[in-house]
Structure 1
Amino acid sequence: MAPHLGPRIDISSHWLRLTSAALVATWAATALAEPSLHVEPGPRVLAGEPVHLSVIGAQPGAEVRLTAERWFAGLSVQRPKPRLMRSEAVFTADPQGRVDLRIAQPSQGSYQGADPRGLFWSMLPVAGVERPAADSVDTTEVHFTLHSAGARSETRLQLLPSLPEVRTQPADGLPGAVFAILPGAQKRPAVILLGGSEGGSLITRDAAPLASHGLAVLALPVFSPPDRAGVREIPELPAAWADLPVETLNKARDWLARRPDVDATRIAVHGTSMGALLALLGGVHLPWVSAVVANVPSDVVWDGWGPGVPLGRRSTFSVAGRPLPFVSLVGYEEELQGFERNEPVMLRRAFERGRAARPDLAAQARVPVERIRVPVMVIGAYDDQMWPSGQMAQAIAERRAEAGLATEALLFPDAGHLLYDTGYAPTTGYNAGLRKTGGTPAANARAQAEVWPRTVQFLRRVLAAGDDPAATPLPTGPR
């Protein structure tokens, strides 16, 4: 018996009427809509988290022009006045009237090729704009403007350097040091942050961003050189980097151990540049170190420098009161004379000449990384013009592999020395002056965008940090 189907309905004609009506409604909505730029996940994003930019509602095949502006101060201990930076890119809308910046290649603009961060890192200074006081503008805000077919719209994005809940405070008893932590009931594993040969307090700016990922962070300046006027930012610290005791890290560890909100059995040491060398030496000589991150490191100890310290006379580091064997730079003063001759200064050459001149000393000065029995991450760049961090990071990983020890190595062929950022800050000025740090703007930004999340993931994994507070969506309402 055939099933009862009820009243007969003319499916085809009914569908055609519905489809025609839908098409008319869609056409009318498209005709009335204006193109708009969408920023995901929202108007406020923690710096370093992925940002997706897309244009919708444009006319298919229409030219879409995007500009981005931001006040940016760059990296400096002296906190220079910010300058207005701008980037631009022109696209062609796809058949659906969209431009997805993850896959769309600009036909012209400040960067080439599909790059979701292109509008961020490719910014250049805007000429003729007066530079305001450091605290008078919002350097976290990016202002986008969209132009297409006579329509114009604006969108703003705030790149928060850290979660607003992060608490920061001076680390009493450790000159210039800053401690940052998210409040909570549990004890948090800790990271000691070390800066490079710039010295001073610059490294302390990175405490709160890293603490936003559930880690207790102690940013520890270890020396403070004089500036051009002879002024030292932190006079309680040494003025020269010479015979610095590796045991300096013990003071930081003891300070963390006195805090009830820190688990002192889980402490990593993260260093950048010369600080990376100190972090590796800490992993060799200090039994409490739980993990090491060495960003653009050296695999050998070099000679110390600073006021009253002639090159080639003293080591950069000491252990138990004894200077460590070191390699002397060759032609360092001559390299610096490039500033007077208006020629590019690439300090890398002095390091390479020193190593080539005395391979016997290089063997004695090598950091015995095979003695580090805790997790290690190394990050190097083969176009680093400060020193050959790519080759030295590779040597560290290879030596540990020979000893049967795993190392997480991030090695970048076209990047330079300045890898400690999120990939969303302008990188166009890194080699603008005579002092060259290496890498192309695009390669440096790509490397930074990989280094930051991989470093956070590594530290949280090896320290068993638990849930990531930064994964919680930020409020999207008015600021």
Structure 2
Amino acid sequence: MTLAIVGTATVSCSTPDPHVSLTVDAPAALMDQPVHTRISGLSSGEEVTVTSRTVDRHKALWHGRATFRANGRGQVDLDTAAPTSGTYRGADGMGLFWSMAPIKGDPEAASFVPPSSPKNTYRVSLTATVHGRQLAARTLTRAWAETGVTRRDLTVSADKVAGTLYLPAPGTPRHPAVLLFGGSEGGNSNTATAALLASHGYPALSIGYFNLPGLPKALQSIPLEYFATAARLLAKQPGVDPQHILAMGYSRGSEAALLLANDYPHLVHGAVVYSPSAQVNDGFPDRGAFAWTKGGKPVPEGVIPLSHVSGPVLAIAGAADLLWTSPQWARQIDKELDGADNRYPHQALIYPNAGHGLGTFPYLPAGTHLTNPVTGRDTDLGGTRAGDATAREASWSKVLALLTSLS
């Protein structure tokens, strides 16, 4: 996949050394694309520190660091070399990206949000320092939308749904499409994921269902018909294969995604659910209210039926989820589909050391605590930053592979 970006790979040395080089294979790439980095020209066994730096939407500086010893050829390949110290452990070619932390504040309570940019890009600088001297540097451009991807904001007053529609570049062949929505945080929280999906050729609509203009203030009495309206809107877009529309729901949104796949099987043809629930829960933050309605009647709490699902289901959970029992629920979803003799691919993906915040796409730094914008409450989501990073990378490849299989 090619990004039409120029001038993104630069080399700068505060004290030039013609023998030391820092090379990367993807100086301009989508945010979910790995970068392979190598340091060359060192002495055998020589110590080098590689740092990463970037700036978030609030102009706060983030950085990562890893110290290595060169191999017998005077090289360090970040894909295979384990740092002797730094912000991550073990060989990981993208460790300097996901392990970045803010200069100020608790990294467990912070998540990196890229700065707003008309070009849908942000920059990460990598530097190699030996004996206190910066000998090589690269500046990389990371993008959340490929050139040609179009964006359109939707409002309840004009479109009957609130969200953001991303479509692949004009002329892209028809592909499966994805309807995305988040959980109890409310708002429209999956725009970057939708932009990346469109960049891979899959039309995507990220919607909010409460806590946006024209929508309920809380997760209470949300009509399933609202999601069905969004799915029908998505099905009509150019480049969409209307026979393959998946719902992607996170946390509380997983309930809506599974209900849609079961209750509207001719419209929504499967689901991808992160940190899911296998049952309908009560409203939020008012625990005495119903969360969902259909036909004007409350959807009762209890196990979500899956006997009518007409497409694949991926249930993705972290084994260390502290918010709720998503690993057990993911297994229950898979077992229920087995029991219904569902003929479509379905799988529970459970990742060790990952918590409730294990999704969706990889390589952005994210903490393990969340302050809910609705309640203002700080919550420990469980897992570790490294565990979540591993889960994001592995599960995202599974999601893209599933979409490819439907194309």
- 1:311-322 equivalence runs, <5 A: 311-312=287-288, 314-322=289-297
The aligned counterpart of 1:392 is 329
User: Following the alignment from structure 2 to structure 1, what is the Cα–Cα distance between the partners of residues 213 and 251?
Assistant: 22
Q: What's the TM-score once normalised by structure 1's chain length?
A: 0.72
Unaligned runs of 5+ in 2: 1-16, 106-113, 372-377
User: Following the alignment from structure 1 to structure 2, what is the Cα–Cα distance between the partners of residues 421 and 188?
Assistant: 20
- The residue type equivalent to 2:313 in the other structure is V
Q: What's the TM-score once normalised by structure 2's chain length?
A: 0.84
2:389 maps to 1:451: no
The aligned counterpart of 2:255 is 277
Q: 1:402 aligns with which of 339, 358, 371?
A: 339
RMSD over equivalenced CA pairs, Å: 2.4
Q: Does the CA-based 8 Å contact 1:376-1:407 persist in structure 2?
A: yes
CA deviation vs aligned residue, 1:219-273 (integer Å, no higher than 9, x gap): 121111xxxxxxxxx2201112122222222211332344344332321111111
User: Following the alignment from structure 2 to structure 1, what is the Cα–Cα distance between the partners of residues 370 and 47?
Assistant: 32
- The residue type equivalent to 2:159 in the other structure is G
User: Following the alignment from structure 1 to structure 2, what is the Cα–Cα distance between the partners of residues 85 and 260?
Assistant: 39
Q: Does the CA-based 8 Å contact 2:368-2:381 persist in structure 1?
A: yes
Q: Does the CA-based 8 Å contact 1:71-1:139 persist in structure 2?
A: no
Q: Does the CA-based 8 Å contact 1:381-1:388 persist in structure 2?
A: no
Query: Deviation of residue 193 (structure 1)?
Result: 1.0
2:36 maps to 1:96: no
Secondary structure at 1:177 match in 2: strand
- 1:180-195 equivalence runs, <5 A: 180-182=166-168, 183-184=170-171, 186-195=173-182
User: Following the alignment from structure 1 to structure 2, what is the Cα–Cα distance between the partners of residues 248 and 265?
Assistant: 20
Query: Deviation of residue 289 (structure 1)?
Result: 1.4
Query: Deviation of residue 456 (structure 1)?
Result: 1.7
CA gap 1:319/1:119 in 2 versus in 1, 3 angstroms: same
| More strand as a share of residues | 2
User: Following the alignment from structure 1 to structure 2, what is the Cα–Cα distance between the partners of residues 136 and 144?
Assistant: 21
Unaligned runs of 5+ in 1: 1-31, 74-80, 225-233, 327-364, 465-479
User: Following the alignment from structure 1 to structure 2, what is the Cα–Cα distance between the partners of residues 261 and 45?
Assistant: 23
CA deviation vs aligned residue, 1:268-299 (integer Å, no higher than 9, x gap): 11111111110100011002212211111100
Secondary structure at 2:180 match in 1: strand
What's the % identity of the aligned pairs?
34
CA deviation vs aligned residue, 1:376-422 (integer Å, no higher than 9, x gap): 11101121122221121111112222333341221112101112243
Secondary structure at 2:230 match in 1: helix
Secondary structure at 1:435 match in 2: strand
- The residue type equivalent to 1:143 in the other structure is S
Give aligned pairs, total.
Answer: 368
The aligned counterpart of 1:416 is 355
- The residue type equivalent to 2:298 in the other structure is P
- Provide runs of 4+ in structure 1 moved above 4 Å: 133-139
The aligned counterpart of 2:245 is 267
Task: Report the structure number with the largest CA radius of gyration.
Answer: 1
Q: Does the CA-based 8 Å contact 1:300-1:366 persist in structure 2?
A: yes
User: Following the alignment from structure 1 to structure 2, what is the Cα–Cα distance between the partners of residues 201 and 432?
Assistant: 16
The aligned counterpart of 1:162 is 145
The aligned counterpart of 1:228 is none
- The residue type equivalent to 1:431 in the other structure is H
- 1:55-454 equivalence runs, <5 A: 55-73=39-57, 81-127=58-104, 135=116, 140-149=122-131, 150=133, 152-171=135-154, 172-182=158-168, 183-184=170-171, 186-224=173-211, 234-287=212-265, 288-306=267-285, 310-312=286-288, 314-326=289-301, 365-405=302-342, 406-427=345-366, 429-431=367-369, 434-454=378-398
User: Following the alignment from structure 1 to structure 2, what is the Cα–Cα distance between the partners of residues 199 and 431?
Assistant: 17
Q: Does the CA-based 8 Å contact 1:90-1:106 persist in structure 2?
A: yes
| More helix as a share of residues | 1
Secondary structure at 2:165 match in 1: strand
The aligned counterpart of 1:24 is none
User: Following the alignment from structure 1 to structure 2, what is the Cα–Cα distance between the partners of residues 170 and 136?
Assistant: 16
